[in-house]
């Protein structure tokens, strides 16, 4: 008896192979936190659900050749999406958003940074694609199927049922997932990478239309919130102490607070910054957090100039570079200040040339303003020491008083440094990134010390206040194992990781007495009101020198740090001890994963982030007459 040949549809094979590959990437290449068996189950099924949904479309092509072609190219596109996200994740511990795709012009300047993120074994991620390609070309008779109408309808119905089931489980595990989606990891974990990208596209379209329909009627509610929840009438003893003085602001690239007053291999990491901590002319904020998201350095600039939160997706510098703002340069211009940014990098990187115009900076001294050659540059460009040395002539050319911002480059991933520039040796761990971080931090510390000397020699130092701020973290969660080794911990917990988001913040006032270490929780959102002490502005931060502050710092993903609590990965911790606070669930409470102690602040954080987004996405400051308000 002759048996009928049984064909295994290629879309089923593709679903199994692609789903398995994607799950392996989720589980072993992304650092996705899984708290329970339900999260593990959802993470397991969602790549197969997404793959079946897409590949099952092939059954609607009547010609087998078109079925095969569709499967080949959709699998190629899907593999590239997974791989590009993986490479991006290795650097930023995050997932790509549509706004970042339009920031692709930045990639041309990344150079060696991208090469360090590509691994030899990555080629294995294309093995299933090669197999499907081979089967669709050489073994068509084994994998092609002629589908009846009911077979096609069944495939469609099954794919939609699986998708609905996935979303149902996701909503059970994470209530209000789509309405409170500040954290991309939660979206990927619950609905999968591909459905996340669809969601991101929908959000992007909504954001782009928000400005068109904004008319200013949104402002009264936001202004009322700021007046009642954010602004304070209190002034400190330091009010006006820097009046008419030059402001020199140093954006210290990628430095984190854990290096301050610390050592590696028995050597002090930051001797000069350590001395500033003890200097009676300096206020050092030891619990100061960066609040950047995907825009990194550009986000830190946006935060400090505007006291608005950055976008949760992409960089505001790119997505809303043409908005109207009321930033520090514009406000100081009315007080007789001239302003400038000095940064030895391409002026179009992060769309700075356009954004600085919107922020009303008077001058931008970019890469073309410096002498850059092979001897004085490495990695991302001009080394910090020659950068500061060459910048002095521009400071001397500016009319006083001036507001200037310096953005350093050397302490930037992948933390390259010539042997002759090393004052301390790299650390010894499984992470070259962390190992090389310490010598570049030390180099930047020495460069800042030399800059202070240059300012004194140029006669600028005494008439200035100098602010030094870490712009964002340099060591991502991908290096937690090495970081645990350095900090002599068994592991880096979510509590530890959020504490590692502290960055140094110094306000140095030459000739002033009374500087000290400030213990209060603070963040980049507070820089603008601290510098200006002005009323009539829209901002979400507080003056760092007053006692009556709102009491918490919000991070862009919805995490927060308050005077008493630290909230991250859906867990509420005691900020001082790091102990997890017992969860008390109210039966009537919709979100049963939220601790009651943190809930009031969490709700306020979400409201504040939402209001900031409204201002940015609607370009609402174009409707405000700040001259009239002041």
Give the active site residues.
Answer: 297
- CA atoms in the 13 A half-sphere facing the CB of 359: 31
Other residues' Cβ atoms within 10 Å of the Cβ of residue 446: 17
* 186 neighbors 177 (Cβ within 8 angstroms): yes
Instruction: Report the number of secondary-structure helices (H) and strands (E) in the chain.
Output: 23, 18
- What angle do the packed helices 352-359 and 297-306 form, to 10 degrees? 10
Q: How far apart are CA 337 and CA 244, in angstroms?
A: 8
CA distances from 397 to 47, 73, 372, 393 (A): 59, 58, 21, 6
Cα angle 549-473-99, degrees, rounded to a multiple of 5: 95
Query: What would the DSSP string read from start to end of 529-583?
Result: HHHH--SS---S---TT-S----EEE-TTS-EEESSEEEETTEEEETTT-PBPPP
- What angle do the packed helices 64-92 and 193-213 form, to 10 degrees? 80
Q: How far apart are CA 21 and CA 9, in angstroms?
A: 19
425: exposed, middle or buried (C-beta count within 10 Å: 0-12, 13-18, 19+)? middle
- Nearest by Cα to 347 from 319, 320, 324, 381: 381
Q: Facing residues of 518 across strands? A: 285
Question: Per the structure block, which two tokens stand in for 182?
Answer: 């500040």
CA distances from 379 to 260, 339, 342, 386, 472 (A): 24, 28, 18, 14, 18
- CA atoms in the 13 A half-sphere facing the CB of 242: 25
Q: How far apart are CA 368 and CA 247, in angstroms?
A: 24
32: exposed, middle or buried (C-beta count within 10 Å: 0-12, 13-18, 19+)? middle
108: exposed, middle or buried (C-beta count within 10 Å: 0-12, 13-18, 19+)? exposed
3-class DSSP state for residue 469? strand
Owner of token pair 């809930």? 599
Buried/exposed 39-76: b ≥16 CB within 10 Å, e otherwise: beebbebbbbbbbbbbbbbbbebeebeebbebbbebbe
């Amino acid at each position: 008896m002759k048996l009928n040949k049984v064909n295994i549809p290629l879309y089923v094979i593709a679903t199994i192979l692609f789903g398995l590959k994607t799950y392996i990437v989720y589980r072993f290449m992304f650092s996705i936190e899984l708290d329970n068996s339900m999260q593990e189950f959802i993470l397991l099924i969602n790549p197969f659900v997404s793959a079946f949904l897409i590949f099952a479309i092939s059954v609607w092509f009547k010609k087998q050749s078109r079925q095969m072609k569709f499967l080949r190219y959709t699998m190629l596109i899907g593999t590239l999406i997974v791989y590009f996200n993986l490479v991006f994740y290795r650097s930023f511990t995050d997932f790509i958003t549509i706004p970042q795709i339009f920031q692709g012009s930045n990639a041309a300047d990344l150079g060696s940074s991208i090469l360090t993120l590509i691994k030899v074994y990555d080629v294995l991620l294309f093995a299933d694609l090669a197999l499907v390609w081979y089967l669709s070309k050489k073994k068509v008779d084994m994998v092609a199927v002629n589908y009846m109408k009911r077979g096609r309808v069944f495939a469609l119905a099954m794919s939609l049922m699986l998708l609905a089931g996935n979303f149902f489980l996701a909503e059970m595990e994470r209530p209000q997932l789509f309405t409170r989606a500040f954290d991309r990891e939660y979206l990927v974990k619950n609905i999968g990478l591909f459905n996340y990208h669809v969601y991101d596209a929908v959000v992007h379209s909504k954001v782009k239309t928000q400005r068109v329909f904004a008319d200013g009627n949104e402002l009264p509610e936001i202004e009322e919130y700021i007046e009642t929840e954010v602004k304070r009438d209190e002034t400190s003893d330091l009010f006006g102490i820097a009046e008419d003085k030059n402001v020199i602001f140093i954006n210290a690239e990628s430095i984190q607070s854990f290096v301050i007053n610390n050592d590696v291999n028995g050597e002090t990491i930051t001797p000069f910054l350590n001395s500033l901590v003890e200097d009676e002319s300096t206020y050092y904020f030891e619990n100061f957090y960066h609040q950047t998201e995907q825009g990194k350095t550009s986000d830190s600039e946006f935060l400090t100039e505007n006291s608005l939160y950055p976008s949760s997706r992409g960089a505001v510098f790119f997505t809303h570079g043409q908005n109207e703002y009321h930033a520090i340069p514009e406000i100081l211009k009315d007080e007789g200040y001239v302003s400038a940014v000095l940064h030895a990098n391409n002026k179009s990187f992060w769309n700075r040339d356009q954004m600085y115009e919107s922020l009303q900076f008077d001058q931008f001294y970019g890469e073309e303003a410096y002498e850059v050659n092979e001897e004085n540059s490495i990695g991302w460009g001009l080394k910090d020491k020659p950068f500061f040395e060459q910048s002095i002539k521009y400071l001397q050319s500016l009319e006083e008083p001036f507001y200037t911002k310096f953005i350093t480059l050397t302490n930037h991933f992948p933390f390259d440094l010539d042997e002759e520039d090393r004052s301390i040796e790299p650390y010894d761990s499984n992470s070259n990134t962390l190992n090389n971080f310490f010598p570049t931090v030390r180099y930047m510390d020495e460069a800042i010390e030399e800059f202070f000397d240059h300012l004194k020699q140029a006669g600028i130092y005494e008439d200035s206040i100098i602010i030094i701020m870490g712009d964002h973290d340099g060591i991502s969660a991908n290096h937690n194992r090495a970081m645990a080794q350095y900090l002599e911990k068994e592991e880096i917990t979510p509590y530890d990781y959020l504490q590692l988001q502290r960055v140094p913040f110094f306000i140095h006032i030459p000739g002033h007495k009374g500087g000290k270490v400030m213990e209060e929780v603070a963040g980049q959102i507070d820089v603008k009101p601290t510098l200006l002490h002005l009323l009539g502005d829209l901002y979400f931060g507080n003056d760092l020198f007053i006692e009556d502050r709102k009491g918490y710092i919000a991070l862009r993903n919805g995490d927060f740090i308050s005077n008493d609590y630290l909230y991250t990965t859906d867990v509420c911790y005691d900020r001082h001890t790091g102990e997890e606070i017992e969860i008390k669930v109210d039966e009537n409470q919709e979100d049963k994963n939220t601790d009651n102690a943190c809930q009031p602040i969490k709700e306020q954080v979400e409201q504040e982030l939402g209001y900031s987004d409204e201002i940015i996405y609607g370009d609402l400051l174009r409707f405000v007459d700040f001259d009239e308000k002041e």
